[in-house]
Structure 1
């Protein structure tokens, strides 16, 4: 994207107003439509894309790698970034903007897809992220990445999967050490809370998102809630949410932070992504603004 392709101040102001006026809702087609023109002209320099690499046997077990084309060719950091989609939709190619943006910063960026509900229920998503993480670890050196600088990140449902795969020992990939750090963006970490607080959170019954992935046996929800099952040793962690995230994301981010801090010996960072909603914070990456990437990069560069 050349300087001439950058959003104008008027376009940025219009987007800011749309975000504010729409409020704390999750509407993928609407938000994607706002950013579609900018995605078409986003920068794609600085990255070599290796697409459709299998990391497992399912048709969803595919990942794309965005390799930096400048700088060091060895010892680079590796970022495994997991897309969202409410457990029932989404694809790694939806987050190509993340791949391009972080490859330009020198990160080998790995974007996996994973199995979706209702055909594949908990812990399928976390298992898939663990498998993609294991693939990244096994192939890090051939990609020019440092085995000791592998970061795991995710947004929304992807943050839920990333949290489970890194914080619950039995879901971690065998023989792979803890991540250098993890970044959890607007995730869901307590299925039981979302079930019990549907009225307060404005979640419909039946819940098309959680019941598709966690099932309808609500007695099992505590056993599938990451906050109830953390048993990993502490590692650096960033927990973030958008200023205009729905309440359930903000509450669960706070709960995960509190539990990790008071019960499990973690010292997580927290961040609010100002001026954005649940989806716009991701759509803006490499297209309109750098608010979320700057928060992520500041954390990554400190760890």
Structure 2
């Protein structure tokens, strides 16, 4: 479901007629019979690309790029909220994108180059200084390399507060990850070397969006093995395994988001994960992303459609 190379999404005018006629609305998602990622990836992105184009100037003007490490995969984009005149402080949100462990970038090639920029702009408009880091991908790196990169990006924020802007509130930092990015976001506080918060940067909350919490389910196949290195590594270091291995650890507040049209396996692993949380007395906030498939969750942001889940997430974070 998450494995294999992903082809670049096709343009809207290359889509078959059923998608073409409804490509500018969330109806495009509802009309897709498939839920598997490889089947809905291109059509979903192509449905939203035209709606993001009017945001180009806003996205590009809200963004600055910085390097937080030595390689091209150690760069990040910061999206700044509109200038405030009341001197208010803005919480900081780190968003970790997915890509099946082997794909993904904070900026895609044209014509899909506004993807994730829309996420940064959306949450910046909600009042968050939003940071989207790149990280190393498998097989060039394996567990816990990407999580270490996310930690390095968090440490960069502590060391470079001026680059976040005078209004950034480093006492209120949140971490959000989608799909494989959620695996990395969860690994940051839960992997033993990472449980000590980044000095000066305690996490206020973690948001996990449609995350594969383990891979022991028909259809998942060997998805995690290329990243974890082996079936044994996958079994030992999946989010569910890390959770069960740390029964005494008190995590930051958790919010779990599930797309209504996620692939079936994601609901199975989410049930297992929620059961393990309950056994440890951890009660996460549950947010349903109605109408969304696995890809539309992020690509819809900024379009005025399908944003209800993100509005709930923003309110949850603002309330902590």
Q: Report the TM-score range of the alignment, normalised by the length of the smaller protein.
A: 0.7 to 0.9
| Cross-structure match for 1:35 | 48
Query: Residue 266 of structure 1 is aligned with which of 257, 282, 298?
Result: 282
Aligned pairs for 1:279-294 (under 5 A) are: 279-289=295-305, 290-294=307-311
Deviations 1:42-96 (Å, cap 9, x if unpaired)?
A: 3754985343311111220100001113225552110111111111111112311
Instruction: Give distance in 2, aligned partners of 1:74 and 1:169.
Output: 36
Task: Look up the match of 1:7.
Answer: none
- Out of 32, 35, 38, the residue aligned to residue 21 of structure 1 is 32
Cα pair 1:242 1:272 within 8 Å, conserved: yes
Specify every segment of 5 or more residues in structure 2 that has no aligned partner in the other structure, as ranges: 1-20, 108-114
| Aligned-partner Cα distance in 2 for 1:165–1:210 | 17
Q: How far apart are residue 221 of structure 1 and its match? A: 2.3
Q: Is the Cα contact below 8 Å between 1:12 and 1:288 reproduced in 2?
A: no
1:119 to 133, 136, 140: 140
- Report what 2:99 is aligned to: 85
Aligned 1:16-165 pairs, distance under 5 A: 16-26=27-37, 27-42=40-55, 45=58, 48-71=61-84, 72-73=86-87, 75-93=89-107, 94-140=115-161, 143=165, 144-165=167-188
* 1:4-47 deviation digits (Å, cap 9, x = unpaired): xxxxxx95885325434333221322211111111111375498
**1:276-295 CA distance string (max 9 Å, x none):** 10001111000241222212
Once the two structures are superposed, residues 233-257 of structure 1 have per-residue CA deviations (whole angstroms, 9 ceiling, x without a partner) of 2321101110010122222223222
CA distance in 1, matches of 2:270, 2:61: 34
Equivalent position of 1:239 in the other structure: 256
Closer, same or farther: CA 177–29 of 1 in aligned 2, 3 Å:
same
Q: Which residue matches 1:3?
A: none
Structure that is richer in helix per residue: 1
Shift of 1:148: 1.2
Asked whether the equivalents of residues 63 and 111 of structure 1 are also in contact (C-alpha less than 8 Å), the reply is yes
- Judged with a 3 Å threshold, the aligned counterparts in structure 2 of structure 1 residues 90 and 253 are, in CA distance, closer, same or farther, namely same
Structure 2 CA distance for aligned equivalents of residues 55 and 262 of structure 1: 38
CA distance in 2, matches of 1:228, 1:178: 23
Cα 1:13–1:111 change in 2 (3 A) is closer
In structure 2, the residue corresponding to 1:121 is in which secondary structure?
coil
The TM-score with structure 2 as length reference comes to: 0.80
Aligned residues: 282
Q: 1:21 to 1:279 in 2, by over 3 A?
A: same
Do the aligned partners of 2:44 and 2:296 also contact (CA within 8 Å) in 1? yes
Distance 1:226 1:18, change over 3 A: closer
Normalising by structure 1, report the TM-score. 0.84
